[in-house]
Amino acid sequence: MLEWSMIAVGVMLCVALFLNLWRLLIGPHVVDRILALDTMYINSIALILLYGMYNGTQLYFEAALLIAMLGFVSSVAFGKYLLRGDIIE
Amino acid sequence: MSLFWIPVLLLIGVFVPLITERFGRTACAFFTMLAPALALTQIAGLLPEVLSGEVLTESLAWIPAVGLTLSMRLDGLGMMFSLLILGIGLLIILYARYYLSEKDAMGRFYAYLILFMTAMLSIVLSNNLLQLWMAWEVTSISSFLLISYWSSKTDSRKGARMALTVTGAGGLALLAGLLIIADIVGSYDLATVLASGDVIREHAMYPVALILVLLGAFTKSAQFPFHFWLPHAMAAPTPVSAYLHSATMVKAGIFLLARMYPVLSGTELWFLTVSLTGLATLLLGAYVALFKHDLKGLLAYSTISHLGLITLLLGMDTKLAAVAAVFHIMNHAIFKASLFMAAGIIDHESGSRDMRKLNGLWRYMPYTATLAMVAAASMAGVPLLNGFLSKEMFFAETLHQVALGSLSWMIPVLATLGGIFSVAYSLRFIHDVFFNGEPIDIPKTPHEPPRYMKIPIEILVTMCLLVGIFPSFMIGSLLQAASSTVLDGQLPEYSLSVWHGFNLPLLMSAIAMAGGLLVYAYRGRLYSFQAQFRETDAKLVFEGVIQAIVRQATAFHEWMANGSLQRYVALLLLLTLVMTASPLMELNSAAGHLPHQPVNGIEITAAILLCISALATVILHRQRMVALITLSVVGLIVSITFARFSAPDLALTQLAVEVVTVILLMLALFFLPQKTKNESSPRRVVRDLGIAAVCGGVIATINYAIITRPFDSISEFFLANSKTGGGGTNVVNVILVDFRGFDTLGEITVLGIAALGIFKLIARMRLAMPSADEKGRAWSEDRHPLILAMISQSLLPLALLVSVYIFLRGHNMPGGGFIAGLVTSVALIQQYIAHGVDWIKPRIKVDYQVLIASGVLIAALTGAGSWLFDKPFLTSWFDYFDIPWIGKIELASAILFDLGVYLTVVGATLLILANLGKLTTRHRPTVEE
């Protein structure tokens, strides 16, 4: 049962990632693209966690942790860039 | 005391004048003389052993693995040259004290002089061909510094450049020649080379080696047709000329000829080349010297002529000629040094060197005049002076020549002709300067120089007289030792007496004397004859040639490297293509026989996402912001791929680097135009697309070919030894801090240097800031949104905790100093973004440059720490400890090393990013001048 649900989640995540990329490419606004990228970060975290569960290892959870933390910084930097142009002032 | 101490002592002596300059000029000269004087006593202490025919050698293994040794050798020839170099060098130091004016930087002068002395001494004491060549090159460079000492004068600079170019080019030829000889013999060891004369002479490469070595010697010794640099080197201060053109620099070439005499001489080629070159130089120098109105110019050409004489002697087919050559080396050094010094005094005390103005100085400086006249008489070869003896030997030897067959009678005739001119210019030196009327409008009223300025000349002139009157008592044994080195022990019978009875050489001397008087008496006619020739200035010709070469080189360079980065990349890729594609063509099929791994839907999804986002980055690259976002997707997918394919360390690193890169790009992007115009022509786009596509295809094929074939890598070793050898289970980290610790140390050093370089580059940079975004909308008024500031602040401790966690577990689980450093930097950068530089500045008081330095230092000291335990650099140590409550833990010295990595990474990243950020604030980075 768990195996099946994991596969289903995997499929859904892949579809979500495709849709994210689609939004990222068509825009139309830069904000759409940044949001799409941020969502891709989140979906990637899910993907890595799913992979860890599937293989029964925790080795990859740090990667997920880092994406969560650093993806935020990256999105903040993009936002600040839109807002002020100069991200460190 | 070891022979090695002698050059080392002198090398230390190079710094003495620079340090003692502040104590006054006399003190400076005194202290400068200490090192050469000590060296001289050391050498002189070895005199009895050398004179008894012993050859003292010492060697020190330098890099034994490639056969490099430092090796010293003191034999008769080396002894004679060492005494000349150090003895005359000491006199020059004393003389220069009074010659240099108060405006001249004395410390610098003496430092160059001692450096030159060291190099010269290293040539004559070297027992290794490469070592000899190194010292040879150092003489070229230090003589360049000496000649250009008055660097504000264009003459000095040009003369120095000419000397360096000619002798430097000769040095390259010499290197090639020595390498060939070493290749024939199979050793750089001079003793071995000297013992294998027959092998070398019979080898097919002998002519090539000989010509190359001769090129080196002839350029250095100003032999025709390379003689033109020497007169222009007279732009140097006179003490330099007196030293370089009497006992040293130009004698280095002669020394080389004498040194290689047992090996290279004895063939027809040697005799013809060397003797004819010498003869041509002898005649040309002697003839031109007569027409030089400049006192130093006359001496310069006379030096050329005497060098030609010595070369001619070395090129003659008799053993006695070699003895005469060695003898004349000594004599010429002694009288020429004193003559140059006398010329310097005349110049110094009368303000002119022009012999058309200088007349009748006898009345003003009788003492100096007497000294100069004795030395000049020695140069002319007047009996009872040292120059006479070697000239007699020279004349005697010319009579025995058969090298030119039935034309051999020409040699003594031409030698006598050279003698005639030699007498004539020596006469001119005496008569024109000290007699012949009154001085004509010279700048100063001439007078005797300071007492101590005359001492060096007095000593040398006394030597001239003593050697001339009691030759065998004064230098008999030294000459014997030196000549027997040159002749490899087979010394001919010769007698060093003043009187040999009435014979042909004496007649030749008499003819030279009478002829010289006659030529001098009728010199007016010769002058008007010579005036018909247009004089070519070697300097102009030389500069013309140099400029033509520079023009060609510039044109070639501009053609090759026109500054277009696109072009460089295209060429680079094309070359890569040629080099990688050709072996691939020989491969029958790209696919190897390893079975493919199964793929699942998620992997396919990731691959498609990767391709699309990469393509999108290329297509959208003109919209920079959008391209940056698509690039982030590429980085994200690559990180996930690393995680999927069991490389968690790489995944973590890639993630952290990704964020830092995006921030860096955005910082730079702010100052760049948001959109760029399409400037490439369609043809160019097609070309570039083609190159890129083929490159991509080739690289993909290589990868595919490699991963489908069994491949033995060295990773097995690391996997097997990581735990036992490095004490960690995370192989990647153990490789970084232990197996390849030295590489890592180098890398963090480079990282630190790069960061400092960037800091220096952007320091004081002023950039125009766009006042609105690309669509023309004004920037938001809210500089630091409150919500962002709050969230970021609470993120900081969490992020630091994560980074400590990653750091500490790095040795055994994915992580380590590098990743932890990046995480810390990103967390701090987040604070910069959220709060701004003004807020951070009072809160983070750490200087990032100090952070980098301490990081590199900690890593290096950790490495050096293993020396304390007699282990090689960077040996790591680890052990397990049982601590109550906590349990068994492992401590490894590698963690200290990793700490160094961590600090360097944090320092470097923040130094770059924070300072880029500061470009727009009032905290612009500044650098103290």
Ordered DSSP codes for B224-289: TTSTTHHHHGGGS-HHHHHHHTTTSHHHHHHHHHHHTHHHH-SSHHHHHHHHHHHHHHHHHHHHHH
Q: CB distance from B652 to chain A under 8 Å?
A: yes
Q: CB distance from A51 to chain B under 8 Å?
A: yes
Residues B163-178 have a mean pLDDT of: 94
**Is the pLDDT at B348 greater than 60, yes or no?**
yes
Chain position carrying tokens 């006898």: B362
Average pLDDT over chain B, rounded to whole? Answer: 87
Q: Please answer whether residues B523 and B290 qualify as being in contact, where contact means their C-beta atoms are separated by less than 8 angstroms.
A: yes
Tell me, what's the pLDDT at B645? 84
- Chain B CB contacts of A86 under 8 Å are 670, 769, 917, 920
DSSP B556-622: HHHHH--S-HHHHHHHHHHHHHHHHHHHHHH-S-S--SSPPPP--HHHHHHHHHHHHHHHHHHHTTT
B185 CB-contact burial (10 Å; exposed 0-12 / middle 13-18 / buried 19+): buried
* Whether B833 and A88 lie within 8 Å, measured CB to CB: yes
Cα dihedral: B511, B512, B514, B515 (round 10): 100
Query: Helix and strand tally (H, E) in chain B?
Result: 39, 4
Tell me, what's the pLDDT at B595? 80
Tell me which residue of A14, A25, A48 sits closest to B629, measured CA to CA: A25
Give how far the C-alpha of residue B330 lies from the chain's centroid of Cα atoms, to the nearest Å. Answer: 31
- Chain B CB contacts of A83 under 8 Å are 779-780, 782, 785
* Whether A66 and B630 lie within 8 Å, measured CB to CB: no
| Beta-carbon-side half-sphere exposure of residue B616 (alpha carbons within 13 Å) | 24
User: Is the pTM of the predicted complex or chain greater than 0.80?
Assistant: no
pLDDT digits (tens, 9 = 90+) for A9-64: 999 999 999 999 999 999 888 899 999 999 999 999 999 999 888 888 887 788 88
Tell me, what's the pLDDT at A57? 83
Beta strands in B492-538 (DSSP E): none
Q: Please answer whether residues B119 and B244 qualify as being in contact, where contact means their C-beta atoms are separated by less than 8 angstroms.
A: no
Q: Please answer whether residues B837 and A88 qualify as being in contact, where contact means their C-beta atoms are separated by less than 8 angstroms.
A: yes
Q: CB distance from B816 to chain A under 8 Å?
A: no
**Is the pLDDT at B919 greater than 90, yes or no?**
no
Which residues 3-42 of A have a C-beta within 8 angstroms of B?
A: 10-11, 13-14, 17-18, 21, 24-25, 27, 30, 33-34, 36-37, 40-41
- Chain A CB contacts of B602 under 8 Å are 10, 13-14, 47, 51
Give the C-alpha separation, B485 to B510, whole Å: 33
Q: Please answer whether residues B921 and B837 qualify as being in contact, where contact means their C-beta atoms are separated by less than 8 angstroms.
A: yes
Phi and psi angles of residue B785, each rounded to the nearest 5 degrees, phi first: -55, 135
Which residues 590-649 of B have a C-beta within 8 angstroms of A?
A: 601-602, 605, 608-609, 612-613, 616, 625-626, 629-630, 632-633, 636, 639-640, 643-644, 648
Tell me, what's the pLDDT at B862? 86
Which residues 833-852 of B have a C-beta within 8 angstroms of A?
A: 833-834, 836-837
Domains of chain A by residue range: 2-86
Residues B206-227 have a mean pLDDT of: 93
CATH 1.10.287 fits domain A2-86: yes
Residues B343-362 have a mean pLDDT of: 87
Tell me which residue of B877, B231, B258, B845 sits closest to B537, measured CA to CA: B231
**Is the pLDDT at B679 greater than 80, yes or no?**
no
**Is the pLDDT at B929 greater than 50, yes or no?**
no
Give the C-alpha separation, B69 to B132, whole Å: 12
Q: Are strands B887-892 and B878-883 parallel, antiparallel or unpaired?
A: antiparallel
Q: CB distance from B798 to chain A under 8 Å?
A: yes
- The three-class DSSP label of residue B492 is coil
Tell me, what's the pLDDT at B541? 86
Residue B602 β-bridge partners: none
Residue B679 to chain A, least CA–CA distance (Å): 24
Distances in whole angstroms, Cα of residue B238 to Cα of each of B111, B144, B295, B374, B425: 16, 14, 11, 20, 20
pLDDT digits (tens, 9 = 90+) for B63-119: 777 777 889 999 999 999 999 999 999 999 999 999 998 888 899 999 999 999 999
Q: Please answer whether residues B873 and B723 qualify as being in contact, where contact means their C-beta atoms are separated by less than 8 angstroms.
A: no
Residue B878 β-bridge partners: B892
Q: Rg for chain A (alpha carbons), in Å?
A: 15
- pLDDT category at B178 given cuts 50, 70, 90 is very high
Tell me, what's the pLDDT at B440? 82
- Chain B CB contacts of A10 under 8 Å are 601-602
- pLDDT category at B1 given cuts 50, 70, 90 is low
Distances in whole angstroms, Cα of residue B635 to Cα of each of A40, A47, A87: 12, 16, 21
Q: CB distance from B792 to chain A under 8 Å?
A: yes
Tell me which residue of B635, B692, B702 sits closest to B662, measured CA to CA: B635
- The three-class DSSP label of residue B675 is strand
Q: Please answer whether residues B601 and A11 qualify as being in contact, where contact means their C-beta atoms are separated by less than 8 angstroms.
A: yes
Give the C-alpha separation, B272 to B250, whole Å: 21
Q: Which of A37, A47, A88 sits opposite B640 (nearest CB)?
A: A47
B890 Ramachandran zone, left/alpha/beta (phi>0; psi -120 to 50):
beta
Q: CB distance from A78 to chain B under 8 Å?
A: yes
Residues B672-677 have a mean pLDDT of: 73
Q: Which of B601, B655, B670 sits opposite A11 (nearest CB)?
A: B601
Q: Which of A51, A73, A79 sits opposite B659 (nearest CB)?
A: A73
Distances in whole angstroms, Cα of residue B73 to Cα of each of A64, B79, B194, B196, B682: 70, 10, 12, 17, 70
Give the C-alpha separation, B733 to B114, whole Å: 52
Distances in whole angstroms, Cα of residue B288 to Cα of each of B216, B244, B358, B420: 24, 20, 20, 13
- Chain B CB contacts of A27 under 8 Å are 626
pLDDT digits (tens, 9 = 90+) for B715-740: 788 888 777 777 777 888 888 877 88
* Whether B783 and A27 lie within 8 Å, measured CB to CB: no
Q: CB distance from B323 to chain A under 8 Å?
A: no
Q: Which of B644, B648, B827 sits opposite A62 (nearest CB)?
A: B648
Whether cis (ω within 30° of 0) applies to the bond prior to A28 is yes
- pLDDT category at B783 given cuts 50, 70, 90 is confident
* Whether A63 and B788 lie within 8 Å, measured CB to CB: no
Give the C-alpha separation, A86 to A79, whole Å: 11
Q: CB distance from B770 to chain A under 8 Å?
A: yes
Residues B255-271 have a mean pLDDT of: 90
* Whether A89 and B609 lie within 8 Å, measured CB to CB: no
Q: CB distance from B651 to chain A under 8 Å?
A: yes
**Is the pLDDT at B232 greater than 70, yes or no?**
yes
Q: Which of B630, B792, B833 sits opposite A87 (nearest CB)?
A: B833
- Chain B CB contacts of A88 under 8 Å are 667, 829, 832-833, 836-837, 913-914, 916-918
pLDDT digits (tens, 9 = 90+) for B382-418: 888 888 888 888 988 888 877 777 888 888 899 999 9
Residues B196-208 have a mean pLDDT of: 90
- Chain A CB contacts of B796 under 8 Å are none
Residue B745 to chain A, least CA–CA distance (Å): 26
* Whether B655 and A63 lie within 8 Å, measured CB to CB: yes
Residues B521-543 have a mean pLDDT of: 83
- Chain A CB contacts of B733 under 8 Å are none
Tell me, what's the pLDDT at B926? 64
Orientation of helix B741-762 relative to helix B848-868, angle to 10°: 160
Tell me which residue of B173, B108, B176, B99 sits closest to B146, measured CA to CA: B108
- Chain A CB contacts of B639 under 8 Å are 63, 67
Orientation of helix B206-220 relative to helix B268-291, angle to 10°: 20
- Chain B CB contacts of A80 under 8 Å are 788, 833
Quick one: three-class SS letters along B111-143?
Answer: HHHHHHHHHHHHHHHECEHHHHHHHHHHHHHHH
* Whether B629 and A65 lie within 8 Å, measured CB to CB: no
One-letter amino acid at B552 equals Q
pLDDT digits (tens, 9 = 90+) for B837-896: 888 888 888 889 999 999 999 988 888 887 877 777 777 777 777 777 766 666 777 788
